[in-house]
Amino acid sequence: MAAPEPKLETDRLILRPPTAEDFEPWAAFAADEETMRHLGGVQPRSVAWRGICSVTGAWSIRGHSMFSAIEKATGRWVGRLGPWQPEGWPGREVGWGIVRDCWGKGYASEGATAAIDYVFDVLGWDEVIHCIEPPNVNSQNVAKRLGSAWLREDWLPAPYDDHPVGIWGQSRAQWKARRG
């Protein structure tokens, strides 16, 4: 019997592992040029399919992965966020990607806060990072709201290795001290 999958709740979001029903909004998200500007670029449906399957499969392989973010008020899929550590990644990340018409609502910060609590309290991580492209000021501001700071410049693995990314993050002790 499989272990129960985690489900996290915030005031406005339900965070749960992706399901087949998430593919259509996931594919629309991946096809949006502005949304994907700092997330590896626009993806055709076939690549979006491999992406959702990769995230879903990581739950089995790693025991953790990104969650689908579901808006409580509507039941709508509004993005994906949470733990992410594919092979060759520069560290244990909590990342986020929110559909464009929900930018500015605080969903990234709200969901990432729950995900960071999860990785420190449940997964036992000692540090969390956020890989953010230098021109992505919006995500840098989310990282700052989370209490993370710029740590270093690093490289993502292929096929995303054509330019360096900023590594933002903090330790478990820093997170706990800030959260009180």
Task: Tell me whether residue 108 is in a domain.
Answer: yes
Q: What per-residue confidence (pLDDT) applies to 162?
A: 87
Cβ count within 10 A of residue 85 = 19
User: Nearest-CA neighbor of 138 among 118, 93, 168?
Assistant: 168
Number of structural domains, the chain?
A: 1
Task: Tell me whether residue 159 is in a domain.
Answer: no
Task: Tell me whether residue 90 is in a domain.
Answer: yes
Q: What per-residue confidence (pLDDT) applies to 34?
A: 86
Q: Tokens representing 159?
A: 């096929």
Q: What per-residue confidence (pLDDT) applies to 37?
A: 85
Q: What per-residue confidence (pLDDT) applies to 179?
A: 80
Q: What per-residue confidence (pLDDT) applies to 4?
A: 54
Q: What per-residue confidence (pLDDT) applies to 1?
A: 36
**Cα 110 to chain center, whole Å?**
12
Q: What is the mean pLDDT of each run of 10 residues along the chain (180 residues)?
A: 74 97 95 85 90 94 95 97 95 96 96 98 97 94 97 92 94 92
**What domain range includes position 60?**
8-126
Q: Where are the beta strands (DSSP E) in the chain?
A: 8-9, 13-16, 67-71, 77-84, 93-98, 127-132, 149-154, 165-171
Task: Tell me whether residue 172 is in a domain.
Answer: no
130: left (phi over 0), alpha (psi -120 to 50) or beta: beta
The pTM is what? 0.94
Task: Tell me whether residue 22 is in a domain.
Answer: yes
One DSSP character per residue, 80-127 reads: EEEEE--TT-SS-EEEEEE-GGGTTSSHHHHHHHHHHHHHHHTS--SE
CATH of the domain at 50: 3.40.630.30
Q: Which residue do the tokens 């540090």 mark?
A: 127
Task: Tell me whether residue 29 is in a domain.
Answer: yes
Task: Tell me whether residue 167 is in a domain.
Answer: no
User: Do residues 81 and 113 make contact, with C-beta atoms less than 8 angstroms apart?
Assistant: no
Task: Tell me whether residue 107 is in a domain.
Answer: yes
